[in-house]
Amino acid sequence: MTKPLVIKIGGSILEQESALSSLLLVLKSNSDKKIILVHGGGSTVDQMLMQAGFTTKKKNGLRVTPKAQTPIIIGALAGTVNKKVVATANQLGLTSLGLSLADAAMVTCSKHPENIGEVGVPTPNNYSVIELLLSQSILPVIASIGALDNGNLVNVNADDAAVAITQLVDGDLLLLTDVAGVKDAQGKILKSLAHAQAQTLIEQQIINGGMVAKVNAAFNAARQLRRSIAIASWQQPQQLSLLFVGQPIGTRIIPD
Q: Please, what's the b/e burial string for 39-76 (b: 16 or more CB within 10 A of its CB; e: otherwise)?
A: bbbbebbeebbeeeebeeeeeeebbbbeeebbebbbeb
More confident residue, 148 or 255: 148
User: Strand 251-254 relative to strand 192-194: parallel, antiparallel, unpaired?
Assistant: parallel
Would the pLDDT of 218 be above 90?
A: no
Note whether 41 and 10 are within 8 A (CB).
yes
40 annotated as a binding-site residue: no
63 annotated as a binding-site residue: yes
Note whether 252 and 195 are within 8 A (CB).
no
Q: Please, what's the b/e burial string for 9-26 (b: 16 or more CB within 10 A of its CB; e: otherwise)?
A: bbbebbeeeebbebbbbb
Distance CA 65, CA 118 (A): 5
Q: How confident is the model over 143-201, as pLDDT tens digits? A: 999 999 999 999 999 989 999 999 999 999 999 988 888 998 898 999 999 999 999 99
| CATH classification for the domain delimited by 1-170, as one of 3.40.1160.10, 3.30.70.980, 3.40.980.20, 3.30.160.70 | 3.40.1160.10
Catalytic annotation present for 83: no
**Which residue among 40, 42, 98, 146 is the active-site one?**
42
**Which residue among 33, 172, 214, 250 is the active-site one?**
214
Note whether 79 and 99 are within 8 A (CB).
no
**Which residue among 10, 11, 117, 146 is the active-site one?**
11
Residue 232, CA distances (Å) to 11, 118, 169, 249, 251 in order: 14, 31, 21, 7, 7
**What letter represents residue 113's amino acid?**
P
Distance CA 175, CA 193 (A): 14
Helix residue spans in the chain (DSSP H): 17-29, 42-51, 70-74, 82-91, 128-135, 158-169, 195-203, 210-225, 240-244
Would the pLDDT of 228 be above 60?
A: yes
Contacts of 247 (CB under 8 A, 6+ apart): none
3-class SS letters over 185-226 = CCCCECCEEEHHHHHHHHHCCCCCCHHHHHHHHHHHHHHHHC
Would the pLDDT of 28 be above 80?
A: yes
Would the pLDDT of 1 be above 60?
A: no
Q: H/E element holding 173?
A: strand 172-177
Residue 254 bridge partners (DSSP): 194
Query: What does the domain layout of the chain look like in residue ranges?
Result: 1-170, 175-256
Q: How confident is the model over 65-120, as pLDDT tens digits? A: 999 999 999 999 999 999 999 999 999 999 999 999 999 999 999 999 988 999 99
Q: Out of 36-50, 76-90, 222-236, which region has the weakest mean confidence (pLDDT)? A: 222-236
Catalytic annotation present for 214: yes
Contacts of 177 (CB under 8 A, 6+ apart): 11, 214, 231, 232, 233, 234
> Residue 147: what are its φ and ψ, rounded to 5°?
-135, 145
**Which residue among 10, 103, 159, 172 is the active-site one?**
159
Catalytic annotation present for 11: yes
